[in-house]
Amino acid sequence: MVSIKKKEMLKKIVETLGEYPVIGILNMHKLPAKQLCEIRSKLHDEAVIRMVKKRIILLALKEKKMTALEEFIKDEPALLFTKSDPFKLAKVIAKSKTKAPAKGGDIAPSDILIKAGPTNLPPGPVIGELQRLKIPAMVDGEKIAVKKDTVVVKEGEKISVGLADVLTKLGIEPMEIGLNLSAVWEDGIVYEKDVLFVPTEKYLEDILKAHSQAFNLSINIGYVTKENVPFLLSKAYREALALAETAGIPTKETIGKLLKKGQDQAKILEPKIKTEQPKQKKEKQKEEKPKDDSKKKKEG
């Protein structure tokens, strides 16, 4: 049975879902109350955050036909309501996050990489700790150095107590304190965090790459567009010119090259012709000699 209080809460959440065009799903797991207050204050003009029971959230989403968001309701969920652009909101949330050391049992928010090079640690028992965690380490002068870049835990994996201790000693703070935006719903489209938090530079890079690939494809298959017409005409001209030269078709553009080609070929043949002509004369003379002898005999 759903209590009257829960029914009222459900009704309020359903109404709020209808008032905002953009709905976000947050995971508030391990978010300190102090940070939550600070974040709410920062987002005051951008968004409204409502923390309610999972069951109420699921019922509200079902009633508003937003069930595509159900899979993102995990741990300690909360709803975020906003009229801002989802990507603009994601930027604001990302900027509000602060770094923090890892604790045993924390889930890695992303791949944790220990880069190659000297560390701030002096030689000692810690080198054994590093090696036990499969971090290739050695003594380099007065410090311990990591031999090569090593991913010690992947995104979504649990950080062990030993690894958390080593990361702290290395001064690595892999955890982020702030809102964990799992997904955003807008006009029936769900944007997951992998899309929302892509840097603007990466988007621009991908767009430029896609444009370049599409342009090259259109040139290769001869698909005419406003952008590629000059290139296609230039390509067609070069190919036609090459064909005319190969086939020996004289045109205003090819006549110069064809004449030069003929001249070059004549130069190659000239030595052969000069050696062949004396041979032909000698053979002709040999053929004519018997005829002369027969004439003399008749005269005698």
Are 49 and 188 in the same domain? yes
Q: Which of 98-102, 185-189, 261-265 comes out lowest in average pLDDT?
A: 261-265
Q: What is the mean pLDDT of residues 182-199?
A: 90
Give the residue with greater pLDDT, 78 vs 290: 78
**Is 59 a member of any domain?**
yes
Q: Is the residue at 81 inside a domain?
A: yes
70 within some domain: yes
**What is the model's pLDDT at position 148?**
92
Structure tokens given for 27: 């995971």
Which has more pLDDT, 292 or 35?
A: 35
Residue 253 located in a structural domain: no
Q: Are residues 16 and 155 in the same domain?
A: no
- Do 122 and 22 share a structural domain? no
* Among 128-132, 166-170, 271-275, the least confident range: 271-275
How much is the pLDDT for 279?
61
| Spatial CB neighbours of 122, under 8 Å, sequence gap ≥ 6 | 142, 143, 144
Whether residues 87 and 183 fall in one domain: yes
Are 91 and 232 found together in one domain? no
Residue range 10-60, pLDDT digits in tens: 999 999 999 999 999 999 887 888 888 888 887 888 889 999 999 999 999
Please check whether residues 82 and 164 belong to one and the same domain: no
Q: At what angle do helices 4-19 and 54-63 cross, to 10 degrees?
A: 50
* Cβ–Cβ under 8 Å, residues 39 and 179: yes
- For residue 283, what pLDDT band results from cuts at 50, 70 and 90? low
CB atoms closer than 10 angstroms to residue 237: 11
Q: Is residue 107 part of a domain?
A: no
Residues spanned by the domain of 43: 4-97+178-198
Q: What local confidence, expressed as pLDDT, does residue 268 receive?
A: 83
**Phi, psi (rounded to 5 degrees) for 180:** -105, 95
CATH code, domain with 10: 3.30.70.1730
Is residue 300 domain-resident? no
The predicted structure's pLDDT at residue 59 = 94
Residue 299 has pLDDT above 60, yes or no: no
In a domain, residue 292? The reply is: no
Q: Do 42 and 151 fall within a single domain?
A: no
What pLDDT sits at residue 300? 47
Q: Is residue 268 part of a domain?
A: no
Compare 277 and 79 and report the one with higher pLDDT: 79
The pLDDT tens digits for 213-262 are: 998 999 888 888 888 889 888 888 888 888 888 888 888 888 888 888 88
Mean pLDDT score, 269-275:
75
My answer on whether 183 and 58 are in the same domain is yes
Together in a domain, 29 and 145: no
Interior angle at CA 69, CA 66 and CA 178, nearest 5? 130
- Are both 28 and 63 inside the same structural domain? yes
pTM assigned to the model:
0.57
Q: Report d(CA 209, CA 196) in Å as an integer.
A: 20
Split into its structural domains, the chain has a count of: 3
Residue at which a domain ends, from 215, 230, 247:
247
Residue 43 shares a structural domain with residue 82: yes
Same domain, 67 and 188: yes
How far apart are alpha carbons 119 and 150 in whole angstroms?
14
Question: Which pLDDT does position 199 carry in this prediction?
Answer: 78
Whether the pLDDT of residue 101 is over 80: the answer is: yes
What mean pLDDT comes out for the span 259-284? Answer: 73
